[in-house]
Each structure stands twice: as C-alpha cells, then as structure tokens.
C-alpha cells in the first residue's frame, strides 16, 4: 500500500510548463527527475502547498515542505517536516539539500534547526533556477525528494534560434575605450600645397588648366608674355596634384604678386578637429581617432598627429589634426566630419557585448546558453563603453552568452511568467 500510495502521489504532482516555465515533481526515493518534461495539458496544475506556502512532498506518512524564503532576510532554504499531518521537531531530523544549476555546477547545503524548521547554512545565490534534491533522515529512515525549480529559462532548437537571429559569444576579456566626440573639417594638406605665381608681370596668352584638373609636377598651367622682354614664358606647377583654385583668364594683366592657381596633392588631407577647452587635458598626440564624413564615405581610422599650442579667441577652442591618407580622393576639402577620439583604454578580465544586457524584474541580466537551453543570469556590471560592458559577477570566463537579439528571449520569459517565481 505504501508503494502504491507514493506512486499515486508522484503522478498527481507532475507538472510541466512549456518554454521555460516551472516544472515540479515529488519523487519516491530513488526515482530520478532531472531533465524530465511532460506534455502541456492546457491549464496548469498548481504544486501542492504546505501551511507555510512552500511546496509539499510526501513519502508515506512523512512529509516535507520546502520553501525558498526571501522575506526580510537573504534568500534561504527552509524545510518543515510533518508526520501523520503533525509538525515534527526539526531536532529529530538531519537533512541536506543539493542544488544542480545549469552548466553542471552543484551546491550542497547542510540544514540546521532554527525555530520550527531546518534552514540552509548560507544564502541561496541568484539565479534561483536549479534542480533541487532534498534528503532527510529521521528515526533511521532516509527520505529523498527531487524536483526542478526553474526561472528565466527558454528552450529553443538551433533552427528556432537561427530564425530569431540569436547570436552567441563567449565571456572573456575585452578592452574598454573612453571616447570623446569632436567636430571638424576636411582641408588640404598644406605641406603638399602650391600657390602658383608668375615670375614676371605681363599679359596672359594661354590658360591650359581649370579647377579639378589633375596636373603633373612641372606641367604647364598657363603662358604669360613678359612686359619687360615681350617674351612668352611658361607658368608650371611645382608639385603633382589637382587644381583647386584658378584666378586667371586669357588676355588679362597679372603681376608678380598675383596667385594664378592653387594646386593641392589630395593623396593626403588634413582633418582639423575643434576641441573645447574643458577637453584639452584629455588629448595627446598619437591617440586613435575614428572619422566619419557621413553617408557615402566609409569611416576611416587615424591618429592625432598635431595639437596646436594656442586656442582660437573667438571660439575658445583648440585645433587637433589628423593627417589622413586618401588615395581615392573620397574626403573632399570642405566636408564637415566628426571624430571619435579614444582618450582612455582599460583591459577588463570579463566583459560581454552591451547588446547582451537586458532588464528583467528590475534586475540586469544576460542570457547564458547550454545546448538548447537559455537562462537569464543576474549580473553585476562595472565599466562600459559603446560596445562592451564589464562583468563583476554573475558570469564565468568561457561561458557562452547571447550577444545579439537577447530581447527575444526576454519576451519569451515574460510570456511564460517564469521570470522570478518560486
């Protein structure tokens, strides 16, 4: 009769909830429950409750009520015992509880008497998601119960995860960068710039180059007839580059001080960035810069090559310059740009992508992956930048976590109602 009764009780207490909700089972001694999941039946059965609101399990006339107590104290395991429906003095029972977490980590708690219950020897750390095993001995007889108690879990097949855009990465070290955003302008490299003037005053007889034309070093730009000798001479470019200014027309008179052309070699350009005075101390020559000239031009990376030693009185700004190679001539002088300067870097031992962090029940969490199971893991965070967040606790090096589209899992947990329910 005792065996038959235990089997009936086990059957009544099996509860399955689809997609990460809680699963309970009370077992007869020696019956495994790890990983068991029954088919959904429409309406969910509630686990049996004891007089203190915990889960009630029975083995013949002996019963245990298991509670994860979180009111007014750090979370702790409490177990109340009954015989023939009446409370049992906890001093009569020796017991321990084992929690098996996702990933195989096992925690064992010795239970000691306190008041009318037995309590674990230390608090239960988050997440409160594990398979529980309770073993109790009274009057020479040992009783065992096991049951799953999950929160924040979602199960997805590889195909479903791929459709949802779930991307997984590994927890590990990362370099955090503090960046300063600056505005600036593309200008010609004045070290590769030529102002073309006539050698002698005279009349312009021929104009051979126009704005935008490429020129070679020594190429003729115009021909001028000297007023003194009446001989024509060539006006040539001193550098190879592009005509960016033209101030001459056939038949006009030019003097030795008139600029006829401006030629610039645009294979490199200057990116002149304006720095506000409160940011002066944060800059130094050699700091990396990411440059952005807007749509149609790929971002470029460079370093600060020059910082001016004086400020502009009208704007109270200082100049920081990047010399940018531009063989494709994409960065046209006159374009406005923004520059992100890396002003500080720090290597942290554990970090995750910023996109991995979600808020669940007012807690910051990241989802870890073990096979087809994903679980919300509460995390304590430290420093961050636009890409990375330092993890102080909650994740271990080498664990796989959801780096992209973790909000899909958060939505599934919210729908299941299993985010933080004991």
pLDDT in the model for residue 420: 54
Q: What 3 state SS string does 76-95 have?
A: EEEEEEEECCEECCHHHCEE
100 backbone dihedrals φ, ψ, rounded to 5°? -105, 115
- The answer to whether residue 121 scores a pLDDT higher than 60 is yes
- Over residues 66-76, mean pLDDT: 92
Enter the tokens of residue 392.
Answer: 């102080």
pLDDT in the model for residue 31: 32
- The answer to whether residue 164 scores a pLDDT higher than 70 is yes
* Percent composition of the chain: helix, strand, coil (DSSP 3-state, to 5): 10, 50, 40
Q: Is 5 helix (H, G, I), strand (E, B) or coil?
A: helix
pLDDT in the model for residue 295: 86
Domains in the chain with CATH codes? 2-150 (2.60.40.3340), 156-189+266-422 (2.40.30.170), 190-264 (2.40.50.100)
Residue-wise pLDDT tens digits, 165-211: 999 999 999 999 888 999 999 999 999 999 999 999 999 999 999 99
pLDDT band at 216 (very low <50, low <70, confident <90, very high): very high
Residue-wise pLDDT tens digits, 354-372: 999 999 989 999 999 999 9
Residue-wise pLDDT tens digits, 36-59: 333 222 334 678 899 999 999 999
Q: Is the pTM of this model over 0.85?
A: no
Tell me how far apart the alpha carbons of residues 323 and 302 are, in angstroms, rounded to a whole number.
8
Tell me how far apart the alpha carbons of residues 116 and 180 are, in angstroms, rounded to a whole number.
61
- The answer to whether residue 3 scores a pLDDT higher than 70 is no
Q: What angle do CA 57, 58, 64 make, to 5 degrees?
A: 55
- The answer to whether residue 87 scores a pLDDT higher than 60 is yes
Tell me how far apart the alpha carbons of residues 165 and 154 are, in angstroms, rounded to a whole number.
15
Give yes or no for a contact between 215 and 237, defined as CB atoms under 8 angstroms apart: yes
pLDDT in the model for residue 417: 59
% pLDDT > 90, the chain: 79
């Amino acid at each position: 009769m005792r065996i038959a009764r235990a089997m009936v009780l086990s059957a009544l207490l099996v509860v399955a909830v689809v997609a990460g909700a809680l699963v309970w089972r009370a077992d007869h001694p020696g019956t495994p429950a790890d990983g068991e999941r029954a088919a959904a039946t429409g309406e969910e059965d509630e686990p049996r409750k004891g007089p203190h609101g915990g889960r009630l399990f029975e083995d013949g006339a002996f019963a245990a009520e298991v509670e994860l107590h979180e009111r007014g104290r750090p979370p702790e395991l409490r177990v109340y015992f009954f015989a023939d429906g009446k409370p049992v003095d906890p001093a009569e029972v020796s017991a321990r509880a084992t929690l098996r977490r996702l990933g195989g980590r096992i925690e064992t708690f010795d239970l000691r008497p306190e008041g009318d219950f037995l309590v674990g020897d230390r608090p239960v750390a988050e997440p409160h998601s594990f398979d529980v095993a309770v073993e109790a001995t009274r009057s020479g007889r040992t009783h065992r119960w096991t049951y799953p108690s999950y929160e924040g879990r979602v199960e997805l097949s590889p195909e479903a995860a791929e459709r949802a855009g779930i991307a997984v990465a590994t927890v590990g070290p990362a370099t955090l960068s503090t960046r300063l955003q600056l505005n600036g302008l593309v200008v010609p490299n004045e070290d590769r710039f030529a102002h073309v003037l006539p050698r002698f005053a005279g009349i312009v007889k021929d104009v051979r180059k126009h704005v935008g034309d490429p020129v070679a070093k020594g190429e003729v730009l115009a021909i001028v007839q000297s007023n003194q000798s009446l001989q024509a001479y060539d006006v040539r470019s001193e550098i190879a580059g592009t005509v960016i200014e033209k101030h001459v027309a056939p038949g006009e008179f030019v003097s030795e001080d008139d600029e006829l052309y401006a030629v610039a070699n645009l294979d490199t350009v200057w990116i002149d960035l304006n720095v506000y005075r409160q940011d002066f101390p944060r800059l130094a020559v050699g700091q990396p810069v990411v440059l952005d000239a807007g749509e149609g031009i790929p971002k470029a990376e460079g370093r600060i090559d020059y910082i001016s030693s004086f400020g502009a009185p009208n704007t109270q700004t200082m100049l920081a310059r990047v010399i940018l190679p531009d063989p494709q001539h994409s960065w046209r002088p006159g374009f406005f740009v923004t520059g992100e300067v890396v002003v500080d870097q720090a290597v942290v031992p554990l970090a995750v992508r910023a996109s991995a962090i979600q808020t669940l029940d007012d807690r910051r969490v990241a989802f870890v992956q073990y096979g087809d199971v994903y679980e919300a893991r509460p995390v304590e965070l430290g420093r961050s930048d636009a890409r990375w967040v330092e993890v102080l606790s909650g994740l271990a090096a080498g664990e796989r976590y959801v780096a992209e589209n973790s909000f899909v899992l958060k939505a599934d947990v919210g729908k299941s109602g299993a985010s933080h329910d004991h």
